[in-house]
Structure formats: structure tokens, C-alpha cells
Amino acid sequence: MRTALVWLMAAGVLAMLGCQPQTADVDNTPVVIPAPDPPDPVPVDESSDGLKQHVESLIAATRAQDYGSVRSSGGDLLIPDHEAWFQSAFGPDVGAALSADYADSTSNFSDDFPGILRTHIAESRFQVVVSEETAPDTPSMVEPVTIYSAELVAPGQSTGAELGPFVYVDGAFRYLGATKPVTTAR
């Protein structure tokens, strides 16, 4: 009761002083806040250990059911500007053919990648085994390309589930897909 009396007296004093409540024009236009740009992929070392650490981080995210992160990583695994990369590595003719093949073989990769990874890690005990080789030297090859392979191998087994061939492009490992350089003797 006492608090109500104090508020009533304060309102009376303000009224005697001629204070009027102020109104402001309010803009009811909705404010659109753009989504932040996705972060660039974290650079990893161009080495078998670098790919192994990257695959292990993707497995950890999958086990934590962070599928948004895994889906985003799937997109990051694709070769950016693959047309230019294939043509710079294999020349204009073979590069164009390989680029078209790559586009076909990876068209749903970003969406499919989390499921692929979940399927491969259903067996909880395995180790990530990475190997690397230089692509076969072909007449059209402009520069040597190292192809990395990552497998999930169960204890006591010599081979496992292959996660795919990878190449190192622009500071990150990228999924090469079903695209394989053409083997032709020089």
C-alpha cells in the first residue's frame, strides 16, 4: 500500500510540473540480420598425419551427433573451382573430362557425407590408416598429384572401409571422388 501511495504522489508531482509522456515514431520494419559466412576450413598439414587428424576430427563430430558440422565439412571436402584445378593438373582436354566426371560423382556428396561416415563408424573399434601415392604420370599431367587414401581398419584386419581418395588443394584435403587420373604410358 505504501509503494502504491509513493507512485501516486510521484505521478501527481509530474502532472503539476506539466510533464507529458513522450511518444516516438516507431519503425516496425523487420530487421534482417544476415547469417555469418561459414568459417574457412581449418588448414591442416599436407601429410598422412594431417589427413589422419582431419578424419579423426570428423569421426569425433559424427559420434557427438554434430551432423550440421559434418555436413558442412563434407562441403569443405569438395575441390573448390574443380574445373580450374583439374585443368591445371592434367591439361585442358583431360582436365575438362576429369572435371565433368568429378562433378557427376560428387553431386550429392555434401548431403550424403554424414550418412556415409555414420555407416563406416558403426564398428566402434578401428584405427584410421592413411597412405599416399603419386598419381600415375600421364602424357597430359602438368604437375604431379599426390593421392591420399584413408581407411577405417578394425583390429586384426589388414584392410577396412575406404573413406575415399583425397588430394590436398588450397590448404585442405579434398575428396577426389570416383575420379581417377587416366593411366597412359608416355
Q: Is residue 104, in this structure, part of any structural domain at all?
A: yes
DSSP structure string for 38-64? PPPPPP--SSHHHHHHHHHHHHHHHHT
Give the phi and the psi of residue 26 in degrees, each rounded to 5. Answer: -110, 130
Contact 82, 75 (CB under 8 A): no
pLDDT at residue 184 is higher than 70: no
- Decide if 4 is inside a domain: no
Cell 604420370, residue located: 137
Q: Which of 97, 104, 109, 89 is nearest to 164 (CA)?
A: 109
Q: Answer whether residue 111 is part of any domain.
A: yes
Burial of 57 (0-12, 13-18, 19+ CB in 10 A): middle
pLDDT digits (tens, 9 = 90+) for 106-145: 888 777 777 777 777 765 677 888 888 887 666 667 878 8
How many structural domains does the chain have?
Answer: 1
Domain that residue 143 falls in: 48-175
Q: Which residue has the higher pLDDT, 175 or 70?
A: 175
pLDDT for res 152:
83
Q: Judge if pTM exceeds 0.75.
A: no
Give the three-class secondary structure for 71: helix
Asked, for residue 27, whether it belongs to a domain, the answer is no
Could you read off the pLDDT of 135-171 as tens digits, one per residue?
766 666 787 888 898 888 887 888 877 777 888 988 8
Establish if 180 belongs to a structural domain: no
Is residue 43 situated within a structural domain?
no
Task: Tell me if 164 is assigned to some domain.
Answer: yes
Asked, for residue 39, whether it belongs to a domain, the answer is no
